[in-house]
């Protein structure tokens, strides 16, 4: 297994990515190779600085970097030798089994869709985030921003994607899929939810448990929460801000600790033909390590093959 890591992506790269690569390397089993994509000399210097042998890694040298603020489509096209572009090219060519970066999220989305492409039958790939449950354990929220506007059929597909992710990577048995709405009853909600509910109810591809509301997100009413990417992004950023506030206030609590994105690594892009994980811009070495391990879990559980099977006509 070969996992490609963008060494130039993220606010604290390449320092954080090198330290994260070292931490990941210590955890990965033999045969699980980490391919470091970026400025090889800089990376080798940093490894040496940290007294860590470069022998355990593979290196792919790149000369360009896509910045956090760059226009995704333009950047991917105009910087073919950027770490993100090269990573996706390798993923497409089968030289990598997974690719992860804490860099420009838009470029990662565009790169994934341009290179490995969407799985046949999947209308729109989705991005997910983890939501901790008050009683312990976790839930999955999707989409969190890849698709600001969604059709009902797309939300139903998110149910399939989220359900398979929950089952495979997070070992949640028969995951309960809920529709994020503003009322419990079937007829409640905006036009999108009203049209989505009956389709989800009919679906035999996942265990639909009905509507939930904003207050239920941290409860144990469901394992997968489906919404459009606008709603999901607002929820994600609001939850992040709550976490930041508890940190600032010095409020220590194991529940709030579980909001820490670092331990989840990053957000997988679900519905493309290879495992791709996008990290938070502020990713620390711990986060980078867990992005790599999430890639490994997605490869090991054959998540993409499961998606392909679920969406084959």
DSSP of 207-222, one letter per residue? EEEEEE-GGGTTTTS-
- Closer Cβ to a copy of itself, 201 or 255, answer by number: 255
Site membership for a copy of itself, residue 255 (CB under 8 A): yes
Which stretch in 8-16, 82-90, 210-218, 295-303 sits in contact with a copy of itself by CB under 8 A?
210-218
Site membership for a copy of itself, residue 229 (CB under 8 A): yes
Choosing from 48, 120, 153, 182, the residue that interacts with a copy of itself (CB under 8 A) is 182
Which stretch in 151-159, 162-170, 215-223, 272-280 sits in contact with a copy of itself by CB under 8 A?
215-223
Structure tokens at 258: 């579980």
Q: How far is the CB of 47 from a copy of itself (least distance, A)?
A: 35
Q: How far is the CB of 293 from a copy of itself (least distance, A)?
A: 27
Q: What is the rounded CA–CA span in Å between residue 236 and residue 313?
A: 33
Sequence-distant (≥ 6) Cβ neighbours of residue 277 within 8 angstroms: 98, 99, 100, 265, 266, 267, 268, 269, 291, 294, 295, 298
Partner residues linked to 226 by β-bridges: 142, 179
Site membership for a copy of itself, residue 217 (CB under 8 A): yes
Q: How far is the CB of 40 from a copy of itself (least distance, A)?
A: 34
Which stretch in 162-170, 189-197, 265-273, 277-285 sits in contact with a copy of itself by CB under 8 A?
189-197
* C-beta of residue 267 within 8 angstroms of C-beta of residue 278: yes
Shortest CA distance to 224 belongs to which of 129, 145, 304?
Answer: 129
Site membership for a copy of itself, residue 162 (CB under 8 A): no
Q: Cβ–Cβ contacts within 10 Å for residue 120, how many?
A: 10
- Closer Cβ to a copy of itself, 81 or 257, answer by number: 257
Shortest CA distance to 89 belongs to which of 118, 112, 66?
Answer: 112
Cα torsion 255, 259, 261, 265 to 10°: value is: 50
Site membership for a copy of itself, residue 171 (CB under 8 A): no
Cis peptide before 145 (omega within 30 of 0): no
Which stretch in 15-23, 36-44, 84-92, 226-234 sits in contact with a copy of itself by CB under 8 A?
226-234
Enumerate binding residues for a copy of itself (CB under 8 A).
Answer: 134, 145, 148-149, 180, 182, 189-191, 193, 213-218, 227-231, 233-242, 244-246, 249, 251, 253, 255
């Amino acid at each position: 297994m070969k996992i490609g890591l963008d060494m130039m992506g993220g606010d604290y790269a390449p320092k954080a990515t090198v330290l994260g690569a070292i931490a990941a390397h210590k955890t990965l089993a033999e045969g699980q190779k980490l391919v470091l994509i970026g400025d090889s000399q800089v990376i080798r210097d940093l490894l040496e600085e940290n007294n860590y042998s470069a022998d355990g890694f593979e290196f792919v040298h790149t000369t360009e970097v896509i910045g956090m603020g760059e226009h995704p489509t333009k950047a991917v096209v105009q910087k073919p030798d950027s770490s993100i572009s090269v990573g996706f090219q390798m993923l497409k060519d089968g030289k990598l089994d997974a690719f992860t970066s804490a860099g420009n999220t838009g470029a990662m989305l565009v790169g994934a869709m341009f290179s490995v492409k969407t799985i046949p039958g999947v209308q729109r790939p989705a991005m997910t985030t983890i939501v901790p449950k008050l009683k312990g354990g976790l839930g999955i929220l999707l989409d969190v921003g890849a698709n600001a506007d969604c059709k009902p059929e797309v939300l139903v597909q998110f149910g399939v994607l989220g359900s398979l992710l929950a089952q495979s990577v997070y070992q949640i048995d028969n995951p309960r899929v809920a529709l994020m709405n503003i009322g419990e009853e079937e007829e409640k909600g905006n036009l999108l939810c009203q049209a989505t509910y009956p389709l989800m109810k009919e679906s035999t591809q996942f265990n639909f448990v009905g509507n939930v509301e904003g207050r239920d997100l941290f409860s144990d009413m469901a394992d997968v929460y489906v919404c459009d990417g606008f709603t999901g992004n607002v929820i994600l950023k609001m939850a992040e801000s709550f976490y930041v506030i508890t940190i600032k206030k010095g409020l220590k609590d194991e529940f709030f600790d579980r909001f820490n994105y670092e331990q989840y690594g990053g957000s997988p892009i679900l519905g493309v033909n290879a495992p791709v994980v996008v990290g938070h811009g502020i990713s620390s070495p711990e986060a980078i390590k867990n992005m790599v391990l999430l890639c490994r879990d997605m490869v090991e559980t054959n998540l993409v093959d499961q998606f392909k099977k679920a969406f084959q006509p």
